[in-house]
Amino acid sequence: ELSRLQKLEQLSIVGEEHSGQWIVGLDTLPPSWTALTALHTLELRGHQLLDAIPAWVADMKGLRKLDISYNANMNVQNITTLTQLETLVMQRLDFAQSPVGDEPVSLLAK
């Protein structure tokens, strides 16, 4: 279980980056990851089943970089709660189908 790696600083879990008929990747993040207090970089790319960032990620005060690229079904509505982030990478998200509508544009303007 990853939560036992309390000195872990970087975690990269990358799924397939394709748009075929197959859906691959994580569908959720376990709350036990809050024990990863040394984690400063989290890369979650290409997880087509991952539809949201759990609210508890905002409690990870050491997290400085988050990459959620290629998560086609990701709802980024709660991304503004991650005030500790210094770097946020959101490449190839499908904002047209996202329930947040124009919200990503206003996120970038702040």
Q: Are residues 8 and 39 in contact, defined by beta-carbon separation less than 8 angstroms?
A: yes
- For the segment 58-92, what is each residue's pLDDT rounded down to a tens digit? 888 899 999 999 887 888 888 888 899 999 999 88
As a whole-number percent, the residues of the chain with pLDDT over 90 amount to 29
pLDDT at 32 over 70: yes
pTM: 0.76
Domain of 18: which CATH number? Answer: 3.80.10.10
Q: Is residue 52's pLDDT more than 90?
A: no
More confident residue, 17 or 10: 10
pLDDT, position 41: 97
Domain interval for residue 71: 2-109
Q: Which residues contact 57 (CB under 8 A, 6 or more apart)?
A: 29, 42, 63, 66, 82
Taking 90 as the threshold, does the pLDDT of residue 15 lie above it?
A: no
* Number of folded domains that form the chain: 1
